[in-house]
Amino acid sequence: MRKRPWHGVLGKTLLGSLLVLGQAQAGTMTRTSSFEYDAATGLLTKEVIEPDNAQLRLETSYTYDAYGNKVSATTSSAASGAAAVAPRTSGTTYDANGQFPVTSTNALGQSESRTYDARFGKVTSLTGPNGLTTQWQYDSFGRKTREIRADGTQTKWEYLYCSGVNGGTTPCPSYGAYVVVSTPLASDGTTANGPWSKVYFDSLDREIKTETVGFDGSSIVAKDTQYDSLGRVSRTSLPYYANQTQQWSTVTYDALSRVVLTTAPDGSQSQTTYNGLTITVTNALNQTQTKVKNSQGQVVKVIDAQNNSLTYQYDAIGNMIATKDPNGNVVQLSYDLRGRKIGMVDPDMGTWSYEYNGFGELIRQTDAKGQVSTISYDKLGRMTSRSEPDLVSTWTYDNCAKGVGKLCSVSSDNGYQKTNSYDNLGRNVSTSTTIDTAYAEGVSYDANGRIATQTYPTGLVVKYVYTSLGYLKEVRNNQTNALLWRGDTQNAMGQLLQQTYGNNVVTQQVFEATTGRLKNIYAGAGNSVQNFSYQYDSLGNMVSRADGNQNLTETFLYDSLNRLTNAVVNSPQAGLSSTNYSYDALGNITNRSDMGSYVYGAVNGRPHALKELNFIHGGKLQYTYDANGALIAEVAVDSTGAVIADRGRTESYTSYGMLKTVSSPSVALSFVYGPDHQRIKQVAPSATTIYLNPDNTGGLFYEKDIKADGTVEHKHYITAGGSVIALIKQTGTTQTINYMHRDQLGSTTTITDESGNVIERLAYEPFGKRRQAGGATDSEGTVVGINTDRGFTNHEHLEELGLIHMNGRVYDPALGRFMSADPYIQAPDNIQSYNRYAYVLNQPLVLTDPSGYLFGGLFRVPFIDNAWNNHIKPVAAQIATVVAVAACTYYTGYATACAGGITTASAKAQGASWNDALKSGAIAGATAFAFQQVAKIPGSDSFGRYAGHMAVGCANGTLTGGGCARGAAAAFVGKWITNQTEGWNDVYRGVAASVAGGTVSVIGGGRFENGAMTAAFGYMFNQWLSSRQIVAGTGLRAGAATLLATSLVNAAGDLASAIEDVADLDNPSKTYVTYTKLGPIGQVYGGRAGGFGLPKDIVARRDAYHHMNLLGYGKANLDESLTGPEAYAAIRGREQNIIDYYGGIGNPRVGNMINGISPLNMSRDFYLQMSEKYFGQYKPKD
């Protein structure tokens, strides 16, 4: 290895502490990386992670052209045996001048090409591997003015000065400087095919107002943002119509610019206090949660509102290795030197182990029962096969027309097969699925790329009709043109106020103006179909609900952890009755006044698993579990101790934890699953059901019942805005339509026929057990669905056994508990979340579980968050009035081996190197540009410049894996060295700053190369570029630069803490996804998420607590996914593509409140280019 010379004693001294990587108080761990450089150019040619350990060794080598551009990168592993993997090479070709990358090729040889505007270096066209091209046009300042997509549809941007500014004439809000207007256009380039949107900015380039056209085509929907004198967001409004009064959320800061008080539009407040390393949050009901951190910024203790403590232990790298609850139950996690989770010991689920290939991809998993599953991947890291003891599945990609980068087929050895077909624009237009026979389904698109029709396997075709602005207006039967659903009106927040069903039943919904919570549902003439009203406390807990048609009222009470403790029913049918619920500190129900007492396992011996249920009037149920924590037997015993022969139940499970069979003395059911572990078949005495539903998270499309007498009934679920609104049944040539009316939880409560007559009413106890519509209990279990088996939260009831199949797991509503352990610990800073059997944290009137794995469905989840919630940032205040959950999960499923819970950025040495980070324009471009702006702050040795360097160092340290504090320290010392070495030549001063910064980063527990990069960037752009001009249109204004530096310093600590809790940007095995959610009348919310595991599971985890669920949005649907060093950038761009496709922020077709990528983000164009590279232009999926 050829080393570059260092200057004098300084470098030698500072390099001396390079090997000390682990925190001493946690024990010493040493990670090793080696680097080789070209002797002539100094360019990095090879880097090796753990060079002395063959099984952990990961080597990446680089080649360059004559201009020093990197033209190839080859990653290889020395691992042997099952961990062996073939090298992966990607390449880039530059133009003749070595200036622009014109062709990029991935490890499979798939390539895409670009052309550029040489004035600004911006991409003017990008042609992907499927031959689809997107073009861009720019004005003389390098600003994007038009985008032309492969289908011809376009978006136009205009940049206008406000009246009184530089001769502008555009009316603007006070303090407005300019406005950006975006307009979606049809393929003719002139006809608008969606509503315009306007974003107003002040003179500091801060967004102050957005406007767009509302659903009715004339009303203007606006949203305002205001700032304090330090440039921090002080208050934001909810979306409102121009003639309405704004509803404001306000934020108060302390002297260190930490949020101390947030006030929602309804006046409810959340207060945060800081006492050294202790942070306490007090919510609107005076409930507190306290987090204690160590000197490394890791959470070591969480104390809930009942003074119960959850403690955490970490290794020297920062991996969380143990948690202990207040009863002493311990979850243990173990990792290899590269930070990959290799083992878990859980008191409920037992001992699990994981193995990886050289690239860090999970290849083998062994559960507590000794069941082994193995996984294989292609050169892009996509799963190609998975072998489980009872299911072998295969995935193929790229080999279908216009399907490069897409899934073409998937099959399993149980006969399941699915094949996707794409049109000339790469859109999925048809799918053939074989279960018992072949089923064909398909979609067509209109000229604007929206879904026009959807075809069911029986040939039924549903048509979607849009307004001129692109809102979903109607759903019709395409053959008869009969109306099935119509959206009539919505409010400024996009919530559906009125809808009309195909049977002329009109439904009206009333929402609280300050919270968006649903207050009333009225349906039918005289409200005869539905007449519901709801009331909530300041946290969103439902305190009462009423059904006017049944003269029924209910009231509810909660404890300080927001668990339901009392439910009172009052109606003519039920009389006056009250049920009390008691819990222990772990979230176990210990007593129900209507049933009896619950007994659980011992400490570290399935402490959350129900062992015995003792009934009030004598007798009991006894429960037995397998090694994975799944219920396998329920035995009924009378008061004398004798077993009751005609009661009880037995269960068996697949190797991947799904219910396989369940039997009672009188009935038996069995289930079959597909390659994505989705339910595809159920065999029951009454019928065999085939499921052709889109995923495992509650989405419904088509089912077929083959009844015992041979009759076949086809069920077509009709969806609008993400909700099932009708069920069309077909038996032979006879077709009937039932319309589904739902409550605030999404439960089916009323069914009407084609004439609008009520044919069935359904009702549920708080935990989901069926009851009489008038409120009386169903003690004999005789109440069942007649016209549909879909009931509580729209899940399928297994009527014969009184259970609910929630797709991922099966739920017992009589007990209020799941039958098997949840593989996710969704909120590792909440003791209640460690209860793998509890239903939605015992908050059944507030939350739902769409998949059987993850709670969510409504807006508020109290105290289940990491730093996003406890250290709310200004940008978070802009997103919503109630902060949503950031799920940091444990997951024992496939392709994950998630590091489990709260892990920190100090464990990132397994991932990308310094050179990998430099390769990423997302990090390098942003850091370089930010340092350039800091260079404008007057005074080379001023506090402003030091602060600016620390701020950008914080952000860079977070992005590259070193952490905020370490990045800031590295940048500060690098800046100090630059000033102390005045007079040295530029090259040696840069090296000195690099060594200093790198060493400080090491002292802080980070990686040398991260610190060196931060310091070197700071030196280079402060010293070499501060005197150079920025190309017009590419830089921030000077005032904005100073504000940026100040704001970054103010928020750096909290921002990095949040990012480090949820991000792992340089982990090559992490998968990033985009998804969409449909609003009540067709609005589209585009989002992104990242994590470990199957893309659909990552989406499901994100969707479970999504803040848009309260607004009536449906489940999240996977759009695209990617794993690899450019995945994060590509997914960032893809998210913005979704937002822009539907008209941009402020457009009523768009559910997002803020951009995926800020217009001021220096890496915006890079992200968009990466998105085009991997995914092509955005088009909605079926």
Q: Which residue has the higher pLDDT, 461 or 968?
A: 461
Q: How far apart are CA 260 and CA 276, in angstroms?
A: 14
Q: How far apart are CA 659 and CA 682, in angstroms?
A: 11
25 confidence band (pLDDT: 50, 70, 90): low
Q: Which residue has the tokens 């990998």?
A: 916
Q: Is the pLDDT of residue 927 over 50?
A: no
pLDDT at 697: 61
Q: How far apart are CA 95 and CA 1016, in angstroms?
A: 28
Q: Is the pLDDT of residue 1060 over 50?
A: no
Cα dihedral 1060→1064→1065→1071 (10° resolution): -140
Identify which of 747, 721, 750 has the alpha carbon closest to the alpha carbon of residue 738: 750
- pLDDT one-digit tens code per residue, 806-858: 999 999 999 999 999 999 888 889 999 999 999 999 999 999 998 888 776 44
- pLDDT one-digit tens code per residue, 131-170: 999 999 999 999 999 999 999 999 999 999 999 999 999 9
Q: Is the pLDDT of residue 641 over 80?
A: yes
Ramachandran area for residue 874 (φ above 0: left; ψ -120 to 50: alpha; else beta): alpha
Residues in the chain: 1182
Q: Which residue has the higher pLDDT, 268 or 1009?
A: 268
Q: Is the pLDDT of residue 537 over 80?
A: yes
Q: Average pLDDT, stretch 686-691? A: 97
Q: Is the pLDDT of residue 438 over 70?
A: yes
Q: Is the pLDDT of residue 445 over 90?
A: yes
Q: Which of 211-215, 748-752, 935-939, 966-970 has the highest mean pLDDT?
A: 748-752
Provide CB contacts within 8 A for 63, sequence distance 6+: 45, 70, 71, 72
Q: Helix (H, G, I), strand (E, B), or coil: what is residue 1019? A: helix
Q: Average pLDDT, stretch 741-767? A: 98
Structure tokens at 481: 């043109």
Q: Is the pLDDT of residue 939 over 50?
A: no
The DSSP string of 348-417 is: TTEEEEEEE-TTS-EEEEE-TT--EEEEEE-TTS-EEEEEETTEEEEEEES-STT-TTSEEEEEETTS-E
Three-class SS string for 186-233? Answer: CCCCCCECCCCEEEEEECCCCEEEEEEECCCCCCEEEEEEEECCCCCE
Specify the range with the lowest mean pLDDT, choosing from 16-20, 671-675, 1112-1116, 1141-1145: 16-20
Q: Average pLDDT, stretch 314-337? A: 95
Three-class SS string for 924-939? Answer: HHHHHHHHHHHCCCCC
517 confidence band (pLDDT: 50, 70, 90): very high
- pLDDT one-digit tens code per residue, 973-996: 444 444 444 333 333 333 333 333
Write down the mean pLDDT value for the chain: 82
Q: Average pLDDT, stretch 586-614? A: 97
Structure tokens at 786: 């007649």
Structure tokens at 1144: 């941009």
Q: Is the pLDDT of residue 1102 over 90?
A: no
Residues 782, 788, 790: CA angle, nearest 5 degrees: 90
pTM over 0.85: no
pLDDT at 891: 32
- pLDDT one-digit tens code per residue, 363-375: 999 999 999 999 9
Q: Average pLDDT, stretch 364-392? A: 97
Q: Is the pLDDT of residue 1114 over 90?
A: no
Identify which of 384, 351, 388, 348 has the alpha carbon closest to the alpha carbon of residue 369: 351
Specify the range with the lowest mean pLDDT, choosing from 226-240, 406-420, 576-590, 860-874: 860-874
Q: Which residue has the higher pLDDT, 393 or 864?
A: 393
Q: Which residue has the higher pLDDT, 785 or 979?
A: 785
- pLDDT one-digit tens code per residue, 1129-1172: 889 999 998 998 877 776 667 888 778 887 656 567 778 878 87
Cα dihedral 1139→1141→1147→1151 (10° resolution): -40
- pLDDT one-digit tens code per residue, 177-203: 999 999 999 999 999 999 999 999 999
869 confidence band (pLDDT: 50, 70, 90): very low
Q: How far apart are CA 559 and CA 570, in angstroms?
A: 22
pLDDT at 827: 87
Q: Average pLDDT, stretch 391-398? A: 98
φ, ψ of residue 482 in degrees (nearest 5): -70, 140
